[in-house]
Amino acid sequence: AQSVTQPDIHITVSEGASLELRCNYSYGATPYLFWYVQSPGQGLQLLLKYFSGDTLVQGIKGFEAEFKRSQSSFNLRKPSVHWSDAAEYFCAVESGGGADGLTFGKGTHLIIQP
Amino acid sequence: NAGVTQTPKFQVLKTGQSMTLQCAQDMNHEYMSWYRQDPGMGLRLIHYSVGAGITDQGEVPNGYNVSRSTTEDFPLRLLSAAPSQTSVYFCASSSGRQNTEAFFGQGTRLTVV
């Protein structure tokens, strides 16, 4: 069965500093990988996705993520965070086509210090 | 372009009551699914469907029923609500084609007292 681990429950970063959120997955074949963001009381917004090809993927809001097969990781990065980036971030994996749904990590809560 | 629409947005139930959470999509997607979100647990799959007339259980199906009589709709039924079902529920749909992502509704916040 596939699984996703987000090791950091909370991360605090100063505004303007760089950010890296960790995600490790367990999946037998080539995974489809996603990062979602959820602001308080809101739904899920897709930041970026990896299906195949270039292992460095660009997303919205200045985020990027790198797929490293050897480390089973898909870490999310941003060079300079803004106060509006404070939110819950979820990494997710699915099998090709998504027939049996997504498996999510438990999330990382990002706090931005002024 | 509505996308995935969930109703209601908020609901309070008494223990033992039944209700149906509605989910509709207008993108002609074959795949639909229901998740629940609990603090510190991320989102967990309840039930999913790969097309009209076909449903299957996810990670946490107990206490929930689903049916898929049309491509557009995928209602989630709670037959006898329990406080443990207090959660935020999300519906999602996807086309099922390669290299496409799921689209999520805005969620239903359910409280069972």
* DSSP, residue by residue, B18-83: -EEEEEEESS--SEEEEEEEETTTEEEEEEEEEETTEEEE-SS-TTEEE--SSSSB--EEESS--G
Distance CA B54, CA B56 (A): 7
The pLDDT assigned to A27 comes to 84
The pLDDT assigned to A52 comes to 84
Is the confidence at residue A100, as pLDDT, over 90? no
Range from A17-21, A41-45, A99-103, B50-54 that averages highest in pLDDT = A17-21
The pLDDT assigned to A28 comes to 73
A82, A24 Cβ separation under 8 angstroms: no
Distance CA A51, CA A57 (A): 10
- CA nearest to A38, candidates A2, A100, A101, A90: A90
Distance CA B4, CA B2 (A): 6
Residues of chain A whose beta carbon is less than 8 angstroms from a beta carbon of chain B are 4, 9, 34, 42-44, 46, 49, 51-52, 90, 92, 94, 96-107
Q: Which residues of B fall within a CB distance of 8 Å from A101?
A: 33, 35, 45, 48, 58, 92
B86, B111 Cβ separation under 8 angstroms: yes
Per the CB < 8 Å rule, is A99 touching B50? yes
The pLDDT assigned to A98 comes to 66
Maximal CA-CA distance, chain A: 43
Residues A71-94, mean pLDDT to the nearest whole number: 96
pLDDT category of residue B55 using cuts at 50, 70 and 90: very high
Q: Who among A52, A90, A99 is closest to B42 (CB)?
A: A90
Distance CA B56, CA B39 (A): 25
CA atoms within 13 A on the CB side of A16: 1
Q: Which residues of A fall within a CB distance of 8 Å from B56?
A: 100
**Residue type at B70 in one-letter notation:** T
The pLDDT assigned to B1 comes to 64
| B89/chain A closest Cα distance in angstroms | 10
